[in-house]
Chain A
């Protein structure tokens, strides 16, 4: 009986969708076509920060195949924020820019045409009257007095509703007394860590097709990674009942977090409603690189207080996450970040401030462990630096400080099912590193052994 139950666990199982892939029969969004399908292309800002003084469509309208254009005035609820569905606000990103653009490539107006080529040509003939404004590209510059202010509420940072209704300009964690611990520490180890934006480069670019149905509903074929997220946001933006939209998805030609934003669906759906015809909106590769969300850039200042025996007794972290021009998923990433910035280590005194900062860059968003991955880069670089500073083996410093079941993490969560010690023991074995007996005998399930004793 047990054997029968385990014929999947531990065994390779052929992919359910693999046969379609090798036969070339899997249907991606781009493979769907309708006889009367229209194509949507976007007029984008060529500069990172500007006031929009005028848009002239007169030459674009003359292009053979031109059908219509859409601006923010056509969109029932133009300003939104994706994470409104989990209570994050306020709304701050326009589907199509209103009076200002905040990044190079921002969507200003949609052109709908009979063919992709006609749409591209019409886009090239739209004349934008833009007044260029000073731009800010650095997270710390953006927080200084005198920096160009990007948000209507008058700051360049996201405001978190913290406990007791108190508003904060950052996410914070307070645990123990770091200043007292720094006074007691034998060593202070400080460093700044910076990551760069990374594009997901999915093989298939972001795309959708919105098709009006005879019953009044709209079918939307999309390669989103978050089908109901996209449906719900589209319904909210277009102010239509959720049941009016039928989202079809699940086949995604690579995502990695790059397809959880809701960019193409609302505007294509609106164009389908306006024209009564199917409308396709597919990013070119250049658009995917230039305007789709990237992994954000993070700057993290670490200060650790360390004892001669290797124990980290205090950690102070100040982080500036570059959200780019809009929220997308960065406010949430910062929340994940503060929960992880102490790392998988038992540190009794921790102080973390993490700022979600707006700049005139392409918005950052989700990508594989966003918020946590940059923290891990900083934490593990810092662990090596500590080991080097106090003259200790880098394996040893990690065993000494590893958290174990029952420890309290700085954000007030008790550690359960810890496996760090066991993972390190296995890793050491796999790379042929001989660990001292003391560390080979350690276990995550109790606090025997190691300097924490």
Chain B
């Protein structure tokens, strides 16, 4: 290990101050479940590392109609909060118990596909992220946070401090399909938020993971659904659109061909759950 300094700032101010001082050479970790494997294997050899676990970001606040989730809130802590069951379920589908005790909601945003499933639920819930530096603060919709494979809108001097999630007004569903029942990277992950009025789709958000360079919204499928009667025909058309628009890849978990097929199957199943 070539790391020369490991900082454990005691506040957000101290953390962003360190970021300003050290710039892009600083590696930021929270639970360590993404960075430490690479460091242990010698793939990553960072000189300076900052750990956010003591920076006071591990809390969940309820404010009028939304949850403000501190970036270092663990996935286990998230599972224990009953405000938004979709988030509990998404957290439960990540890793095993020990990993969820360490991995954080903020850190999971940086897990590249086929990991990083928490963001799928956040996309379906129209979440926003708060980005903080030593002299600025801004809020971005999660859809604008991702810019490419393992790249984000985050500036070198910024941290994700908080994730804001409106309490859903409609029905939600979450399905993850992997090679195992649990503790597995995804073949595909689907999250849906749906508002119906007299069986007509008033609003829908469909999040997908493991079928693109980052967690994505299936916008073509959403357009197919909005304004239509929510029946088997509409569900089939949306599933077809999602399978068409996604950009799956081949890895050791599944092929591009198989992932695309499974997007169709799992979008249909998730929507069918909400029709029931």
Contact partners of B251 in chain A: CB under 8 A: none
Query: Is A284 in the interface zone, CB < 8 Å from B?
Result: yes
Contact partners of B1 in chain A: CB under 8 A: 117
Query: Is A61 in the interface zone, CB < 8 Å from B?
Result: no
Contact partners of B41 in chain A: CB under 8 A: 284-286
Number of B interface residues in the complex (CB < 8 A): 6
Q: A121-151, CB under 8 A of B: which get 1 and which 0?
A: 1011000000000000000000000000000
Q: B114-140, CB under 8 A of A: which get 1 and which 0?
A: 000000000000000000000000000
Contact partners of B45 in chain A: CB under 8 A: 121, 124
Contact partners of A123 in chain B: CB under 8 A: 42
Q: A237-254, CB under 8 A of B: which get 1 and which 0?
A: 000000000000000000
Contact partners of B64 in chain A: CB under 8 A: none
Query: Is A110 in the interface zone, CB < 8 Å from B?
Result: no
Q: B40-61, CB under 8 A of A: which get 1 and which 0?
A: 1110010000000000000000
10 contacts between A and B (CB under 8 A): A117-B42, A120-B42, A121-B2, A121-B42, A123-B42, A124-B45, A284-B40, A284-B41, A284-B42, A286-B41
**Closest B residue to A285 using CB positions:** B41
Contact partners of A117 in chain B: CB under 8 A: 1-2, 42
Q: Which residues of A contact B (CB under 8 A)?
A: 117, 120-121, 123-124, 284-286
What's the least CB distance linking B52 to chain A, in Å? 24
A120 to B1, CA, bound (A): 8
Contact partners of A286 in chain B: CB under 8 A: 41
**Closest A residue to B43 using CB positions:** A286
What's the least CB distance linking A257 to chain B, in Å? 22
**Given contact pairs A120-B42, A284-B41, A286-B41, a sample of 12 additional A-B residue pairs in the complex whose CB atoms are under 8 Å apart:** A117-B1, A117-B2, A117-B42, A121-B2, A121-B42, A121-B45, A123-B42, A124-B42, A124-B45, A284-B40, A284-B42, A285-B41
A284 to B2, CA, bound (A): 18
What's the least CB distance linking A288 to chain B, in Å? 12
Contact partners of A285 in chain B: CB under 8 A: 41
What's the least CB distance linking A402 to chain B, in Å? 36
**Closest B residue to A287 using CB positions:** B41
Contact partners of B42 in chain A: CB under 8 A: 117, 120-121, 123-124, 284
**Closest B residue to A286 using CB positions:** B41
Q: B1-27, CB under 8 A of A: which get 1 and which 0?
A: 110000000000000000000000000
A124 to B1, CA, bound (A): 12
Closest 3 CB pairs of A and B: A120-B42, A117-B1, A286-B41
What's the least CB distance linking A198 to chain B, in Å? 13
**Closest A residue to B252 using CB positions:** A289
Contact partners of B40 in chain A: CB under 8 A: 284
A121 to B41, CA, bound (A): 11
- Residue among A120, A121, A284 with the most chain B CB within 10 A? A120
**Closest B residue to A63 using CB positions:** B2
A121 to B3, CA, bound (A): 12
What's the least CB distance linking B24 to chain A, in Å? 21
**Closest A residue to B45 using CB positions:** A121
**Closest B residue to A124 using CB positions:** B42
What's the least CB distance linking A45 to chain B, in Å? 17
**Closest B residue to A64 using CB positions:** B2
Within 8 A of A (CB), among B185-226: none
A123 to B1, CA, bound (A): 13
A120 to B43, CA, bound (A): 9
What's the least CB distance linking B38 to chain A, in Å? 10
Contact partners of B2 in chain A: CB under 8 A: 117, 121
A129 to B238, CA, bound (A): 53
A123 to B45, CA, bound (A): 13
What's the least CB distance linking A60 to chain B, in Å? 13
Contact partners of A284 in chain B: CB under 8 A: 40-42
**Closest B residue to A120 using CB positions:** B42
A117 to B45, CA, bound (A): 10
A286 to B37, CA, bound (A): 10
Contact partners of A120 in chain B: CB under 8 A: 42
A123 to B2, CA, bound (A): 13
**Closest A residue to B3 using CB positions:** A117
**Closest B residue to A115 using CB positions:** B1
A117 to B1, CA, bound (A): 5
A442 to B42, CA, bound (A): 62
A117 to B2, CA, bound (A): 7
What's the least CB distance linking B258 to chain A, in Å? 15
What's the least CB distance linking A106 to chain B, in Å? 18
Q: B70-82, CB under 8 A of A: which get 1 and which 0?
A: 0000000000000
A121 to B2, CA, bound (A): 8
